Structure 1
Amino acid sequence: MTVSFGWGPAEARALAPAAACLVVVDVLSFTTAVGVAVERGTAVLPYRRRDATAAAYAREHDAALAVGRRRVTAAHPWSLSPAALRTAPAPPRLVLPSPNGSTIAAEAGGATVVAASLRNRTAVAQWLLRQGYGSEARPLAVIASGERWPDGSLRPALEDHLGAGAVLDALRALAPGLHPTPEATAAATLWAATDDPAAALHGCASGRELYEYGYPQDVEVAAETDASTAVPVLTDGAFTEAP
């Protein structure tokens, strides 16, 4: 099998050694935010923790720092909110803390890391195939980030299952000769069988949470399927747009 699918940091660690490329999917909201920032020309530096060490990391790398959504001000307008990143001034470099997507990116070992979402699912699939990923020589792993329960354990998240399935479905449509694992096939089938993915995003647990917190616009941005052609690739510690 040359195309695999898994959940969270633990499975990323397990699949990465055999993968030439790791596709990270964190729809609400890390990889959607990365895509929005990168398509505006910002290099995004992922970071695992949103604490004092993140500020130090940003200073060391001459980058702006994204803060929690509720800490955004006119002077400091960057956060994990894709909608906020769309309207804020675009800094050259931005540290984007995320306990899920960033952690998975850090588990890739020597594999190429790509940030995928619903917004760029076809562009990512096209780029992967142009690079020869998904072949026997260059196996591919697609990782749904999921969320965390209060005890820190993985909470599978529908939006990431759909996002990973969207990429996998685009891959099998473009290259039907690929050899996915049953898990990858099931994720692609879930996407294909979902009549209204946007409604699923708005209605899923993570979408409802963002509504409750007052950020429905972030769900709207995340639901813009195939709205972007930018493919963020992690290079020297930062996501930048692939040529």
Structure 2
Amino acid sequence: MSDIPDWSKQRSWGVRLDWGLAGARALGPGSAAVIVVDVLSFTTSVSVAVDAGTRVLPYPWRDDTAAEFAAAQRAELAVGRSAVSARQPWSLSPAALRSAPAPQRLVLPSPNGSAISAAVEGVPVLAACLRNARAVAGWIAEQGWGTAQYPIAIIAAGEHWPGQDLMRPAVEDWLGAAAVVSALAALGVGPLSPEASAAKASYEGIADIGALVTGCASGLELAANGFGADVAVATELEASKAVPVLIDGAFADAS
């Protein structure tokens, strides 16, 4: 984007990190790939669904257009967490997805990770979380990406403040992004931008990632609304070897 200042693009680094849709628009162009991280819960749900063989179609809005889109794509539609039923057992809840029948194709609306994934154009998009950070990093390394010549952009999705169109930096997404950076660095991928280096240091300095995510604002929000099981799924560190890559509009395993 022409209105993004050059100093913000982390140009000299192979592994770059930023926040939200604006960060994806700043770092995406010119990157070899964009890795979206939305731990609670879009990319965690993608990992669970892809593990089960489902192709996941990201969609930014949960409104009437989502149903129309799902019908046009011959896909099932995930509903709000509290709206699941025997007819529509799929939602953004990774725990609910795990217990529901696995459809061939599923539209998964989300205003954060899904919206970012759908907005990125022209480069591969991957969905990473705490369940598959190492697998995603390994796949990136196999492509020869993450260098100054072929940089990657890691985007921590963040949340929205209730009732406001303002992004809330979410510590779980920072840690999910940091887990990918740490795994990449262990494979010798880089150089890391200062932002990515700071994330790596924070991740590697935390003794109990699961406890931190459970106790953070987003974890407490889900628990207060009766969805604490989603946090438990999200903190299954490195439980998945699937690498969800957006192919023809749907996330599928590329590993």
Q: TM-score, normalised on structure 2?
A: 0.93
How many pairs does the alignment contain?
Answer: 242
Q: Compute the displacement of 1:107 (Å).
A: 2.9
1:160-216, Cα deviation, whole Å (9 max, x unpaired): 0000000000110111x5111100100111110111000011000000000000011
Which whole-Å CA distance do the structure 2 matches of 1:35 and 1:226 have between them? 11
Aligned partners of 2:178 and 2:148: how far apart in 1? Answer: 21
Amino acid at match of 1:157: A
Specify every segment of 5 or more residues in structure 1 that has no aligned partner in the other structure, as ranges: none
**Amino acid in structure 1 at the alignment position of 2:102:** A
Number of the residue aligned with 2:211? 199
Q: Given that residues 49 and 97 in structure 2 are in contact (C-alpha distance below 8 angstroms), is that contact kept between their aligned partners in structure 1? A: yes
Structure 1 residues 95-142: Cα deviation after superposition (integer angstroms, max 9, x where no partner): 000000011112322111000000001011001100111023321000
CA contact (8 A) 1:33 1:85 kept: yes
Write the distance in 2 (CA, Å) between the matches of 1:240 and 1:169. 24
Residue matched to 2:236 = 224
Deviation string, structure 1 residues 196-243 (Cα, Å, up to 9, x no partner): 000011000000000000011000000000000000000000000004
Q: Is the 8 A contact 2:94 2:230 kept in 1?
A: yes
Separation in 1, partners of 2:52, 2:118: 24
TM-aligned CA deviation for residue 151 of structure 1: 1.8
In structure 1, the residue matched to 2:31 is 19
Structure 2 unaligned residues grouped into runs of 5+: 1-12
Q: Distance in 1 between matches of 2:115 and 2:77?
A: 17
Residue 167 (structure 2) aligned to one of 118, 140, 154? 154
Quick one: distance in 2 between partners of 1:193 and 1:107? 33
Cα deviations across residues 67-121 of structure 1 (Å, max 9, x unaligned)? 0000001221000000010110000000000000011112322111000000001
2:57 alignment partner in structure 1: 45
For the Cα contact (< 8 Å) 1:158–1:204, is it kept in 2? yes
Equivalent pair of 2:182/2:200 in contact (CA under 8 Å) = yes
CA contact (8 A) 2:131 2:235 kept: yes
| Aligned twin of 2:15 | 3
Counterpart of 2:46? 34
Aligned to 2:180: 167
What SS is found at the alignment partner of 2:92? coil
Residue 88 (structure 2) aligns with? 76
Contact 2:50 2:252 in 1 (8 A): yes
Match of 1:119 in 2: 131
- The Cα shift of 1:28 comes to 0.2
Contact 1:16–1:107, Cα closer than 8 Å, also in 2: no
Could you tell me which residue of structure 2 aligns to residue 65 of structure 1? 77
Q: CA–CA distance in 2 between the matches of 1:197 and 1:18? A: 32
Aligned equivalents of 1:197 and 1:136: distance in 2? 30
- Quick check: 129-138 or 230-239, which moved more? 129-138
2:226 pairs with 200, 214, 228, which one? 214
Scaled by the length of structure 1, the TM-score of the pair is: 0.98
User: What secondary structure does 1:17 align onto?
Assistant: coil
